[in-house]
Structure 1
């Protein structure tokens, strides 16, 4: 349901609905009050008009022999009268509601009180009798006495025009408010992926305050992270000097077994320092540029083959688009090296899918437990049971790949293959070169 009416979740739509709802409520309430007031006014007008007609007929009906015909011609079609010598029947007799009508008519013209007025409602029509003061009786019938005025339909076009105008204005004002908020949301989405994002202070005062607060928060966050990254990078870099001295001292150890153990420890420490520095380099900015993505993938595959890995490639020979080549190459190198190191034979595939590319790396290794697939994307996560410690590393290979995929504006997902092994799939944005 939310997806079906997703367009109503936006700020502009909600502002428009709020104003439209308020306007409709005001219109309906005003129409009800106006209709009641107008009905009372029209009832008084009808009663006064009928009383005047009947009083006029009582006074002048004996003045001329053709008075009834002339009055019918004059009042047609609103009122028809007929003179009788005897009291005529009035549609089955008056009821309480009809006596109320007679009372209102007499209240409008008290001189009709002695004339024994009776009235009966018949749908929108009213018919009745009155005793003439000079003798005889008069029956009358008004076909549209109770017919109301269609106020709602009369004002429908005007109301609809007003509603459309209000909705358009609400959408315009909502856009003025929503666009700066959308810019802030887009900027927040890019925080931490590349260079700091500046937000233009536009829109209402409150939105400008939010933009300014966001810029200050971003600056504090980047300073906070930057200080820790620099500290860790300096520590990792400074470790290279004592490691070099350790290697030199280890070479002077006479016992071969002890020397081999020291060399293995030094290798692991150097691998750890290298992995940490590689992870920290993921935050270095890089401009987008045109590149042959297929060539980058095949280069990484060839490097792995030259290092002795069994790696195959399945994809186009050429695919030009916009990317950050260094980050893409480091991303692929970490994934491929991870597969070769832990699983052996590795297959790399490249697929162009509309406005993105899909890169898959499959291996035939032991895979990763299902409950650890997300954890291995975090820094310094090692799986002692599925990935042997003898392979070395600091648990940063997949974390580096995850970091780089985010910097490239893409996603990465791990899954175990049904036939055994791990499948790493990366979705990256792609803008092809226009011919």
Structure 2
């Protein structure tokens, strides 16, 4: 069923409307066809009764020995006459409402001729004719026996022609045109109805990378306005919570920096060289911790303007700058692609990944690959890698896996976390994998459908 039912709401709604439209029209055509057939048969039965009465009146004016010639001359493609009656009892006549109405229509012209005795038998009056297919054609077979006042008899047999099929070329073309126009109108209306859902989806992607984007305009039907208002209120609450946490971190960092400065002054006043050196190491560690926390908080900053840049040029420039600083890296960038991003933030994230590789493995190899859906930047090293069970953990703040890397490594475990946050804020992903030949690969992916573009 998953392969039959469409995946999108638009396609499902259109399929449902199509089924309802087609089924309702087919049922309407079946009902109309049945009623039309009955009307045609009753009209033909009335004409048949009047024709028989005309023939009988004409034949009665002639002597009995000449009536057979008159009856023979009155025969047509649908009407057969016999001089002798066919016993009604020998024929399987049908008794139902439709047959009775046909008999009444045939009797009606003879109401002004009470001297004639008329017997009518309706046979093979089928049920509902299939809408398509010709195997069970509905026909009305009628037998009429006439007794003249002079005791002569005559029988009339007719098979009333059926109504023409409704499914002619013109009707089929009409149905196709009407169905196509109805589905086009339905598609237009469906697009207008689900437009608010698309707006919500787009807004959700935007606030995923930038919480301070403009709120949605609350327009449309009442249900749509309620949903948009709830979404805007959620965005405001998220802004309040995130900005409150950022301000709290900034305030704590400021107070800690002031305390560390005072601690440094007291440290400088110590006369004991050994105690002063030990306390200075503590102050240095505290300064490093505070700076790391500030860097991590700054990773959520959206103050930098969004610009369209050449990612290949940015990557090549970063690698050249690091090489000039004697950082042991190699890179390969043979093509470029233009993206909307915060250039300084993205450069910082890539540099963090390179620094992480150089710190734990001694060197790094950087490569950019452009594909149809987006661009990949791979930062490879030849270090010991990371245990498979910890590959996701090391992307979280304050998580380190020093045992799996070199024993000389140090840090608070914020480098990868900062890079991860920056990349997520650009609508991309960061994935760590151990290479089969040894070493770790940090793969940055940024899709071309970046929400920052809109």
Shorter chain as normaliser: what TM range? 0.7 to 0.9
Which of 179, 192, 204 pairs up with 1:188? 204
Could you tell me how far 1:68 is from its partner in structure 2? 3.3
Contact 2:431–2:444 at 8 Å: present in 1 too? yes
- The equivalent of 2:130 in structure 1 is none
Cα distance in 1 between the residues matched to 2:46 and 2:171: 27
Could you tell me how far 1:63 is from its partner in structure 2? 2.7
SS where residue 201 of structure 1 aligns? coil
Structure 1: give runs of 5+ residues left out of the alignment.
Answer: none
Q: Give the 3 Å change call, closer, same or farther, for CA 3–293 of structure 1 in structure 2.
A: farther
Cα distance in 2 between the residues matched to 1:21 and 1:319: 46
- The equivalent of 1:55 in structure 2 is 53
Could you tell me how far 1:225 is from its partner in structure 2? 0.8
SS where residue 209 of structure 2 aligns? coil
- The equivalent of 1:170 in structure 2 is 186
Task: Trace 1:14-413 onto structure 2 (pairs within 5 A).
Answer: 14-63=12-61, 67-68=70-71, 71-72=74-75, 76-77=76-77, 79-84=78-83, 86-87=84-85, 93-97=90-94, 105-108=102-105, 109=107, 114-117=117-120, 121=124, 124=139, 126=141, 128=143, 130-133=145-148, 134-143=150-159, 145=160, 147-151=162-166, 153=168, 155-194=171-210, 195-250=212-267, 252=270, 254=272, 256=274, 261-282=278-299, 283-302=301-320, 304-305=322-323, 309-316=327-334, 322-354=340-372, 356-387=374-405, 391-413=409-431
Contact 1:117–1:130 at 8 Å: present in 2 too? yes
* Per-residue CA distance 1:55-91 (angstroms, 9 max, x = gap): 333332233556436534xxx44x323342x45699x
Could you tell me how far 1:395 is from its partner in structure 2? 1.9
1:424 maps to 2:447? no
SS where residue 347 of structure 1 aligns? strand
SS where residue 357 of structure 1 aligns? strand
Contact 1:93–1:120 at 8 Å: present in 2 too? no
TM-score, structure 2 as length reference: 0.78
User: How much is the aligned-residue C-alpha RMSD, in angstroms?
Assistant: 3.7
SS where residue 193 of structure 2 aligns? helix
SS where residue 162 of structure 2 aligns? coil
TM-score, structure 1 as length reference: 0.81
Contact 2:103–2:121 at 8 Å: present in 1 too? no
Cα distance in 2 between the residues matched to 1:31 and 1:292: 63
Cα distance in 1 between the residues matched to 2:342 and 2:314: 11
Contact 1:294–1:315 at 8 Å: present in 2 too? yes
Could you tell me how far 1:415 is from its partner in structure 2? 0.9
Cα distance in 1 between the residues matched to 2:330 and 2:219: 52
Could you tell me how far 1:235 is from its partner in structure 2? 1.0
Cα distance in 1 between the residues matched to 2:233 and 2:98: 76
Cα distance in 1 between the residues matched to 2:98 and 2:233: 76
SS where residue 404 of structure 1 aligns? helix
Contact 2:119–2:146 at 8 Å: present in 1 too? yes
Contact 1:292–1:318 at 8 Å: present in 2 too? yes
* Per-residue CA distance 1:126-174 (angstroms, 9 max, x = gap): 364624414554344435x152342455754444333323222222222
Cα distance in 2 between the residues matched to 1:419 and 1:259: 48
Cα distance in 1 between the residues matched to 2:311 and 2:98: 91
Q: Give the 3 Å change call, closer, same or farther, for CA 193–316 of structure 1 in structure 2.
A: same
Q: Give the 3 Å change call, closer, same or farther, for CA 418–409 of structure 1 in structure 2.
A: same
Cα distance in 2 between the residues matched to 1:260 and 1:320: 51
Structure 2: give runs of 5+ residues left out of the alignment.
Answer: 126-136, 450-454
What count of residue pairs does the alignment treat as equivalent? 421
Could you tell me how far 1:363 is from its partner in structure 2? 1.1
- The equivalent of 2:129 in structure 1 is none
Q: Give the 3 Å change call, closer, same or farther, for CA 297–157 of structure 1 in structure 2.
A: closer
Could you tell me how far 1:244 is from its partner in structure 2? 3.3
Cα distance in 2 between the residues matched to 1:225 and 1:294: 33
